[in-house]
Structure 1
Amino acid sequence: MDLSTYSHSFSLKNKISRLLWNFIRLIVFRPFGSRLFKKWRVLVLKCFGAKIEWSSHIYASVKIWAPWNLEIGANSSLGPNVDCYNQGNISIGSNTIISQKTYLCASTHEYTKKDFPLILKPIKIGNGVWIAADAFIGPAVVIGNNAVIAARSVIIKNVEKNTIVGGNPAKLIKSRNFE
């Protein structure tokens, strides 16, 4: 491997947008942590290109790499200290909870090539999903509707709808049935 040849595909516009977003995040997003500012944080994200419903709840401590690569449905939540490393797109359905300290990673590197290029691989999380605390969701993962991801799980493969998975790597625990 020869990392002296490494380059990424981010344009100057992307770099400037990221610089501006990081500044704005520190000044007008993160300091407004009260629930009273829930809509304010959604507005700031919308201004930076996020496709997000007004009923979503994004905690002020959430770290979002690129709001323009984020889509969040109605009544969904990104909990405290969630790290949304969305160089690639991340789509989150409606009525979905991403609990505290979860890490969503929508990119990786092509390890079979000598220059180790960055690859963007979107994450798609369905409706009615609960991702419990401190989970890791890897690149190109699709999580089906109504799935539950147990705390501290590592998700590197797709998760079927109406299932509960957990562990490292995550394995099926049981089906999720509603009463």
Structure 2
Amino acid sequence: MLRVLWNITWFILFRPFASRLFKKYRVLVLKCFGAKIDWSSHIYASVRIWAPWNLRIGKNSSIGPESDCYNQGTISIGDNTVISQKTYLCASTHNYNKTDFPLILKPITIGDGVWVAAGAFIGPGIVIKDYAIVAACSVVSKNVDQNTIVGGNPAKFIKFRNFE
């Protein structure tokens, strides 16, 4: 029932308010549905969130337009992190070794200062450590170490991130 209420609320009270002027309003709507989100974060109106009560977002972080948070399992995003447009975060899977394919919840954890570039797919149970970068259109199926840049399908180490 809560999912139905959330979908109606998203359609009527969240998605239509796309202007940046409504940034804090969208945070309020998410908080009303149990999201643990800092007021300074920016969630675009076109972001699809399966379960706001399974969403944790730190300070100054954003989820870009047309991204999809399929968070049957918890998705945690740290401070100062950017999830770019059309990214897909998937925090659940199925046990393919059983005939009824039971659901398995596998939380995603994304650290501080991370940039997940446009169109990336972050799979179930993934941990992306602080200050990592995931290149555009990458498929992340293994954890990403701190201060690294990964890319491709499947995502592989490209180089270390150097700060100026």
Short-chain TM bin? over 0.9
Residue of 60, 67, 72 corresponding to 1:82 = 67
Is 1:42 aligned to 2:30, yes or no? Answer: no
How many matched pairs? 164
Percent of pairs with identical residues: 75
Ranges in structure 2 where 5+ consecutive residues have no aligned partner: none
Q: Structure 1 residue 33: deviation in Å?
A: 0.3
The aligned residue for residue 98 of structure 1 is 83
Is 1:62 aligned to 2:19, yes or no? Answer: no
Letter of the 2:29 counterpart:
V
Name the SS for the 1:39 alignment partner.
Answer: helix
Letter of the 1:127 counterpart:
D
Superposed CA deviations along residues 18-77 of structure 1, whole A, max 9, x for unmatched, are 000000001110000000000000000000000000000000000000000000000000
Letter of the 1:71 counterpart:
R
Is 1:152 aligned to 2:137, yes or no? Answer: yes
TM-score w.r.t. structure 1 length?
Answer: 0.91
Is 1:125 aligned to 2:110, yes or no? Answer: yes
The aligned residue for residue 169 of structure 1 is 154
Residues 111-120 or 63-72, more deviating: 111-120
Q: Structure 1 residue 114: deviation in Å?
A: 1.4
The structure whose Rg is larger is 1
Q: Structure 1 residue 177: deviation in Å?
A: 1.2
Superposed CA deviations along residues 73-97 of structure 1, whole A, max 9, x for unmatched, are 0000000001000000000000000
Q: Structure 1 stretches (4+) deviating beyond 4 angstroms? A: none
Q: Using the alignment, how far apart are the partners of 1:113 and 1:61 within structure 2?
A: 35
Q: Using the alignment, how far apart are the partners of 2:2 and 2:77 within structure 1?
A: 22
The aligned residue for residue 9 of structure 2 is 24
Name the SS for the 1:108 alignment partner.
Answer: strand
The aligned residue for residue 109 of structure 1 is 94
Name the SS for the 1:44 alignment partner.
Answer: helix
Name the SS for the 2:28 alignment partner.
Answer: helix
Letter of the 1:17 counterpart:
L
Q: Structure 1 residue 115: deviation in Å?
A: 1.3
Q: Using the alignment, how far apart are the partners of 1:115 and 1:26 within structure 2?
A: 32
Q: Using the alignment, how far apart are the partners of 1:112 and 1:162 within structure 2?
A: 36
